[in-house]
Amino acid sequence: MKFDVAIVGSGLAGLSVALHLAETRTVAIISKRALKDGASNWAQGGIAAVLDSGDSHTQHIDDTLVAGGGLCDESATRYIVEHGREAIEWLIEQGVPFTKDDSAELGFHLTREGGHSQRRIIHAADATGHAVQVTLEEKVRAHPNITLFEHHCAIDLITSDKLHPLKKANAQPKCYGLYVQDEKTGQVLTFAAEHTVMATGGAGKVYLYTTNPDTASGDGIAMAWRAGCRVSNMEFIQFHPTCLYHPYAKSFLITEAIRGEGGLLKLPPEAGAAAGKRFMLAHDERAELAPRDVVARAIDFEIKKRGLDYVHLDISHKPAEFLIEHFPTIYARCLELGIDITRQPIPIVPAAHYTCGGVVTDLHGRTDLPGLYAVGETACTGLHGANRLASNSLLECVVIGRACATDIAAKEKGEVPYLPDWDESRVTDADEEVVISHNWDELRRFMWNYVGIVRTTKRLERAQHRIALLKEEIDEYYRNFRITHDLLELRNLVDVANLIVNSALQRHESRGLHFSRDYPETLPKALPSILTPARRK
């Protein structure tokens, strides 16, 4: 199959690129599951942008830089913040039903979240991602130049050096498309494309507990790395402080906006005499409105110190009507589980939430490999630094998605050479699928235990050793047996886990989301951690 542009991933970043390109290019959107099954659809809080005269680009930039622990790329931050309003206006034009507020300048309600000095989060109640995703999905499904491939799993990129390994060995490789497996038939398809865009989201599934959907297995990061692209800042995994703690709730996120609207973190009854006590002021003067890394570490500290399983997030002191209006999704889901947030506190724990690092790109999403782009959580533009400021991620998706599409549209159309079909002649059906599930479980457990919120060199080295053994076993499995969806994800997760651990071992300090007991101080100069594939060295 041949398209002008192949986009892998169907979240806000991928759909933004597709819609901006579809008037002039044929576009394929390759989605591992249904279009709605990515992290964008789960995003609750909203999108940060300067939309009020009482706010300013300077304030938004400063808030981002502070949260980012001195590691944000200032020019990237400025570019994305300054293009924020036009990104929101584009979404409004598409019909996204943001929550109205007739008294506001733009006519929409703005909320505030941790780390922000102003109310600048535009939202659709407490289900912004879903509202945006549904709106753009309708546009994408209706466009004649966009072809959807749902339940298709990307395998690997096709590069010129793989096609002609002996020809021009020192020449710069180029990306010409990718191999994709149709999950329903098992057939491997060849997608030829002059431009390929990785928009596959993050890698939260590498951890045992995550707020991410099951699709977040770092596919785009791993594929780009294997194709020769650099990655940066992979040690900075944001753990969301407030994930619902309940045996029947799988990774249900409690939005940052709960704390933004006055929610308080308290110790639960299991804390004995300290039950009901607020604890955040003992950790940071900003209390519940401190950045996520500070709050997550504080909760982790209290849980470990007191032998707790969870802590409480309490907003029951607010009027019930306010809570039901502003947080209808959280109110309904908690009520299903027997928790009335208008009367009771919410039990919460931290969970892996956002991958701040990723494939190194410029502000048009261009990677080290000509023909290959990366946008959204898959990419590292430098915006998030050592810790993503709340609600900046969806903003980045729209701004860089548009810039990526503009760059592709400005290029003259070229030709893609003949691409060989996928070769399965030397493999057989796997005889023990249980090997994959065992390796999967082992990886996620030791990543949680050894490469979590607080790290040590010894823990990281243990993880590194285990990853090396797993990688060897998985690579052998990949070479000898027919591929499956689970095997492809596991292969990508092991590669991403390796990148996280190697990046963490490289950083001899504590900064933002990376906290090391062996290096508790922050170095005077902030430098990104950049890993380069062996083939590029």
Active site residues: 292
Which amino acid, one-letter code, is at 232?
S
Residue located via tokens 């032998």: 307
Residue 466 contacts residue 191 (beta carbons within 8 Å): no
Own/partner contacts of 189-192, CB < 8 Å, gap of 24 or more, are 189/1, 189/152, 189/422, 190/1, 190/158, 190/419, 190/420, 190/421, 190/422, 191/1, 191/2, 191/3, 191/6, 191/28, 191/30, 192/1, 192/2, 192/3, 192/158, 192/416, 192/419
Query: Residue 536: what are its φ and ψ, rounded to 5°?
Result: -100, -10
> CA-CA distance, 58 to 348, in Å (whole number)?
34
User: Three-state secondary structure along 487-519?
Assistant: HHHHHHHHHHHHHHHHHHHHCCCCECCEEECCC
Nearest to 386 by CA among 199, 532, 527: 527
Residue 192 contacts residue 182 (beta carbons within 8 Å): no
Contacts of 169 (CB under 8 A, 6+ apart): 161
Q: How many residues does the chain have?
A: 537
Residue located via tokens 């951690």: 529
Residue located via tokens 């651990």: 501
CA contacts within 13 A on the Cβ side of 229: 32
Burial of 143 (0-12, 13-18, 19+ CB in 10 A): middle
Nearest to 454 by CA among 298, 226, 327, 345: 298
> CA-CA distance, 198 to 227, in Å (whole number)?
12
State CA 513 to chain mean position distance: 14
> CA-CA distance, 194 to 8, in Å (whole number)?
14
> CA-CA distance, 364 to 407, in Å (whole number)?
6
